[in-house]
Structure 1
Amino acid sequence: MNALILAGKQADGPLKEVSDSKATIKIEGKEMILYVIEALKALDFIQKIAVVGDKDRLSFLAKKVDMIVEQGNSLPQNILRGAEAFPEDEELLVLTCDIPMITPEAIRDFAVKARELEADFCYPIVRKEDNDAKYPGVHRTYVRIKDGTFTGGNIVMLKAGTVKKAIEKAEAFLAYRKKPWMLARILGISFVVKFALGILTIKELENRVSDLFGLKARAVISNYPEIGTDVDKESDLELVRKVLAGEGYR
């Protein structure tokens, strides 16, 4: 299995003034992306690691990963460029660079569960209770469905060739993410209504995503909150700095 880390520049956002590249924000004297790379290198089933981003800005990674791929103009394009560096039939873990608290155990747990599902696309979700137990008071974006209240993770598992198959629809989906009426047209009114009422099931979500992208999509419930704890704002940065400094979080 190979790994692809997304480290493209951020055009805007709360951390833009800290750095235009989350990957290079330093935590305990070390660039954020290095924590993700080290977690991957601790896993015996990871063969190669690629990073997508500004090649000049990420040149310090030249001896730490197998390849650095120049970024595109969007998140889907970055994923596509990275995936094209690997054979289409090989399994690929795609991670963001802003999850410095990720551990080898969390990645292994997700990969093992995902492989058992024999799906084209696997995505982790974490229960609110697990997040609150480990990081009480930390704000995350949650979705309430019939099976519980969850937040999404920052890693997916797929076949490299799957990206090409789904790229156009992924571009459209992201383009409409802030236009509910357009998303409703894509997803279907009944789906949107059930989602709003919190009565959708994980199975229904899996089936809708599978139909939408023409592949077998499955959710993986992870008990590791760090898989969904990314650094998007100053409070997130403060959290990871405390945790990685060994101060814990309470």
Structure 2
Amino acid sequence: MVNALILAGDEDSNGQPKALLKIKSMYMIEYVIKALRESGVISKIYVTGNEALNEKISDIVDGFIKSNGSIMNNIRNSIKQIGDYNNPILICTSDIPMVKGEAIRDFVKRCEEMGLDVGYPIIDKRLNDDKYPEVKRTYVKMKEGVYTGGNIVYINPKVAENCTKKAEQLIEYRKKPLKMGQVLGFSFLLRLAFGILPVKDVEKKICSMFQVKGAAIATPYPEIGNDVDKEADIDFVNKYIS
């Protein structure tokens, strides 16, 4: 079985948790918790956020961890507090209310079958456009097609400390092309920029850098990547959610 950690530290302009946004009759985070429970592959569910969130959802999760600092810091701190290094952990955001249990189950099962340390879902633009034509997402052109990323990550907690620290370095270098080139290689960046880089090459680069067995999982469930971060997204979700 897999544990789950929901990252719910984002707040609105009034300091209220975005996870408590009401969509129809439920808080946004409740849809995510419901999907995790219904997946049949999750053992315990933990949430990291502020006390206002804890007061609302503490009775429907297995543990609450007060958020502090960056996303990567919250991931490291939460994994330490959970203290279970024998089972993988599924990290997800609280803003994907359209996700269903079958999508989570499919993703986790495929990661388990491949024996991964790190699994990350990618979504083909054609799939998203066919199912949700009005959705606007940020896409990256690869050799095989055009993809966007999902809002969940499967990770072996034993590698999380090293992975998050290296991820922080990449985030720090994102506006420093020279340093980023030194880390990733200029040939790699050029092929990525021109949209001719194969997904497998990205996987190899990440696995080598982070010293893990990882893979990009092409999921058939675009809901994994359809997050709510602006007013228009709420109208979209209300249209499709049941």
Q: Which residue identity is paired with 1:25? A: L
Mapped to 2, the partners of 1:104 and 1:119 lie a distance apart of 21
Tell me which stretches of 4 or more aligned residues in structure 1 moved more than 6 Å: none
Question: 1:26 is matched with which residue?
Answer: 22
1:140–1:124 distance in 2 versus 1, CA, 3 Å: same
1:99 matched to 2:100: no
1:18–1:151 distance in 2 versus 1, CA, 3 Å: farther
Describe the SS at the equivalent of 2:193.
helix
Instruction: State the shift of 1:177 in Å.
Output: 2.8
Describe the SS at the equivalent of 1:62.
helix
1:40 matched to 2:41: no
Q: Which residue identity is paired with 1:5? A: I
1:235–1:19 distance in 2 versus 1, CA, 3 Å: farther
Question: 2:148 is matched with which residue?
Answer: 151
Ranges in structure 1 where 5+ consecutive residues have no aligned partner: 11-15
Mapped to 1, the partners of 2:209 and 2:229 lie a distance apart of 28
Mapped to 1, the partners of 2:46 and 2:87 lie a distance apart of 14
Q: 1:200 aligns with which of 194, 197, 202?
A: 197
Q: 1:97-123 deviations in whole A, cap 9, x for unaligned?
A: 000000001111111111121111000
TM-score for the superposition, normalised by structure 2: 0.94
1:81–1:110 distance in 2 versus 1, CA, 3 Å: same
Mapped to 1, the partners of 2:23 and 2:176 lie a distance apart of 36
Instruction: State the shift of 1:178 in Å.
Output: 3.7
1:169 matched to 2:166: yes
Q: Percent of aligned positions with the same letter in both sequences?
A: 41
Q: Is the 2:3–2:43 contact (alpha carbons within 8 Å) kept by the matching residues of 1?
A: yes
Q: How many residues align?
A: 240
Mapped to 2, the partners of 1:20 and 1:176 lie a distance apart of 31
Q: Which range moves more in the overlay, 133-142 or 180-189?
A: 180-189
Instruction: State the shift of 1:90 in Å.
Output: 1.1
Q: Is the 2:39–2:100 contact (alpha carbons within 8 Å) kept by the matching residues of 1?
A: no
Instruction: State the shift of 1:56 in Å.
Output: 3.8
Q: How does 1:1-250 map to 2 (within 5 A)?
A: 1-10=2-11, 16-17=12-13, 20-84=16-80, 85-244=82-241, 246=242
Q: 1:67-117 deviations in whole A, cap 9, x for unaligned?
A: 000112001011112222132121111110000000001111111111121
Instruction: State the shift of 1:18 in Å.
Output: 7.5
Instruction: State the shift of 1:214 in Å.
Output: 1.6
- The answer to which structure has the higher helix fraction is 2
Q: 1:1-35 deviations in whole A, cap 9, x for unaligned?
A: 1111000134xxxxx34864221111113210000
1:5–1:76 distance in 2 versus 1, CA, 3 Å: same
User: Cα RMSD over matched residues?
Assistant: 1.6
1:199–1:32 distance in 2 versus 1, CA, 3 Å: same
Mapped to 2, the partners of 1:149 and 1:53 lie a distance apart of 33
Question: 1:13 is matched with which residue?
Answer: none
Mapped to 2, the partners of 1:226 and 1:81 lie a distance apart of 28
Q: Which residue identity is paired with 2:61? A: V
Mapped to 2, the partners of 1:58 and 1:69 lie a distance apart of 9
1:135–1:178 distance in 2 versus 1, CA, 3 Å: farther
TM-score for the superposition, normalised by structure 1: 0.91
Describe the SS at the equivalent of 1:219.
strand
